[in-house]
Amino acid sequence: MIDGSDFQVIGVVEKPKGGFGMGDEDRRVLIPISTFRKVYPTADEVNMRAQAYPKMLDQAVDQIREVLERRRNVPFGGKDNFRSRPRNNKSRNFITS
């Protein structure tokens, strides 16, 4: 149960090996964005993480950016109303508010 909502566990994520700033993995859950919107309809910031196949991060980032721009009605060539920052060489965070 998370914040009063029941969820079914369908898998677990392997803990990362070592490193500083780790330790909250046991409290982290991954749910589909559509489920998140239903459970937390008033959330004003969403942090999404995307991971790409090896050597395909740039292509994945372009595709995600295109979807976010369309869904958030960003005009062609306009300023994005979301943020993107690299996490490592194969994943990137997207933050919307």
pLDDT in tens, 47-67: 777 778 888 888 888 888 888
Per-residue pLDDT for 19 more than 80?
Answer: no
Per-residue pLDDT for 90 more than 70?
Answer: no
Q: In the predicted model, what is the mean pLDDT of residues 40-46?
A: 83
> pTM higher than 0.75, yes or no?
no
Q: In the predicted model, what is the mean pLDDT of residues 35-45?
A: 86
- Among residues of the chain, what percentage have pLDDT more than 70? 80
Tokens matching residue 1? 């149960």
Report how far apart, in Å, the C-alpha atoms of 37 and of each of 6, 22, 50, 62 are. 15, 27, 18, 24
Neighbours of 94 (CB within 10 A): 19
Q: What SS3 state is found at 85?
A: strand
Tell me, what's the pLDDT at 82? Answer: 83
Q: Which residues of 40-62 are buried (b: 16+ CB within 10 A; e: fewer)?
A: eeeeeeeeeebebeeeebeebbe
Per-residue pLDDT for 21 more than 60?
Answer: no
Tell me, what's the pLDDT at 34? Answer: 86
